[in-house]
Amino acid sequence: MAGMAIAECEMATELEQAIRNKTAQVGIVGLGYVGLPLIRAFVAAGYPTMGFDVDQGKVDRLRAGESYIGHIPSAWIADCIRDEKFVPTADMSRMGEADALLICVPTPLSESRDPDLCYVEATTRQIAETLRPGQLVVLESTTYPGTSRDVMLPILARRGLRVGEDFFLAYSPEREDPGNPDFSADGIPKVVGGIEPNSCRLAELLYQQAVVRVVSVSSCEVAEACKILENTYRSVNIAMVNELKMLCDRLGIDVWEVIEAAKTKPFGFQAFYPGPGLGGHCIPIDPFYLSWVARKHGMSTRFIELAGEINTSMPQYVVRRVMDALNESSKALRGSKVCLLGVAYKKDVDDPRESPSFALMELLQAGGAELSYNDPHIPKLPAMRHHDVPDLSSRELTAEFLAEQDCVLIATDHSAYDYDFIVRHAPLVVDTRNATKNVREGRERIRKA
C-alpha cells in the first residue's frame, strides 16, 4: 500500500499538504507511558503538538515543566512548554484544534476478563463532539480486531461526516517499551492500517515524519491483530518457561542454567525467562482480547487460555516457595516479616501497571505476613484498579532493616540493588528473577522461586 495515490479528495489533499509542511497540529489523547513518548517523537520531528488527558493533576504537572515518567526528562518538558511546542490540556472541547488525533488510552480487562473499551468509547464520543472535516483519527490502544470499524466508526460518523472524504480513521498499535534505552518511540517501526485507502495513506504519511519506519497493511483489522499476535507470542512462550521452571524445581535443576545453555543455539531458539507473574500494560491483557473475540465467533483458543492460566498462577507458586523456605527455618508465613523488593513490573522502570508484585502482596498479607517493600523507582505504593493496595512507603535497605526480616523476596531485579549487600545481611532471600546469580558469599541463604 506504500506509495498509493490518494483518491481525489479535497480534505485529504489539504491534510496531506499540512503534514508535509509540518504545519499539521498533532494531538495525543492520553499522556501516559505511551502518549508522552509519542509527543516527544512528534516534537522532535518539528510538529506543533497538543496533549489531552482527563487527569488535571497530570496536566498541571506538565504545564509546570515536571515529568512524571522516569525516562522523559523534566527539562525537556519545561523546554517544550516554554517554546509552545507542546500544549497539555484537560479541555476536551479543544480536540477540534488538532489536525490529527492519536488515541493512547487504557484498554483494561473487566472483572470477568472481557475487553473493557470504556476509555476508547468515551474518547471517541468526545472527539465526535468536535470532529470537523479534514481531521485524522488514529487509535493506538491495544484492542481486538474490529474495534476501529465496528466501535469507533459508527460513533464518529453520527454527525454525518463521511470517512475517507470528510475525516479519516486508522489504527496503529503502540509498541512502547518503557525503560528500554535501545528503542524509543521514534526508533520503533509503526504498523499502520486504515479504514479505507485515504485514511491509511494519511496515517502512513504522518508517522513517516516521526518514526524510523512505517509498515502499511491492508486494513485496521490486520493492524489490530498484529499487536495482539506480538504480545500473545510472548505470553505463550513465557508461560512455557514458567511451567518449565516449576518442573525443573521439582527435578532439582536450575532452569536459568538450562535457558543459558539453550540460547547458545544460533537458530531455532529465542530465550524467554520465568518470573513471579506477568506485568505491564500489554502481555497480561492482550491475549484475553484475542480469546474473547474467538469466543464471540464460536471458537476456543485453548493454547492461549492455558498460557494465561499458567502465568496468572505464578504469584501463588512464588508464595508457596516462600512458605517452603520459611519452613526450612521452622517459621510459618503468619507473623513472619517479609520485604518485597521491586513493585515495578520490570527492572529499572517506574511503571507498576499490572505488576505481579501486587498479587504477591495480597497473598502474603492474606497468609499473615508482616509486609514491607522497597523500590527505588516507586517511593509510595499507588492505588491499583484490581488490587487492595496497603498504605506503605519504600523502606531503606540498611543492614539493620535487612537483618530484621525473616525473608526478602526479589520480585523485580532493579539494577540499583546491591545484591551482595542484600544477601550478606538478610537471613533468607527468595529470588524470582535470578538476580543473585553473581553473588558468591552466603548462597546458602538464597532460594530460587
Domains of the chain, start order: 10-218 (3.40.50.720), 234-448 (3.40.50.720)
What pLDDT is recorded for position 166? 97
**Residues 6 or more apart whose Cβ sits within 8 Å of residue 436:** 410, 419, 422, 423, 429, 443, 446
Does residue 413 carry a pLDDT above 60? Answer: yes
pLDDT tens per residue, range 31-51 = 999 999 999 999 999 999 999
Percent of the chain with pLDDT over 70: 98
Looking at the DSSP assignment, which residues form a beta bridge with residue 447?
Answer: 430
What pLDDT is recorded for position 383? 85
Give me the chain's average pLDDT, please.
94
282 catalytic? Reply is yes
Rounded CA separation 166/134 (Å): 6
pLDDT tens per residue, range 59-99 = 999 999 999 998 899 999 999 999 999 999 999 999 999 99
Does residue 8 carry a pLDDT above 80? Answer: no
On whether the CB atoms of residues 152 and 126 are closer than 8 A, the answer is no
* Residue tagged active-site, from 9, 104, 200, 282: 282
Helices (H) and strands (E) in the chain, counts: 14, 13
Q: What would the mean pLDDT of 426-444 be, rounded to a whole number?
A: 97
| Cell numbers placing 384 | 491499583
pLDDT category at 335 given cuts 50, 70, 90 is very high
What pLDDT is recorded for position 91? 97
> What DSSP state is assigned to residue 375?
-
pLDDT category at 281 given cuts 50, 70, 90 is low
Q: What is the pTM of this model?
A: 0.91
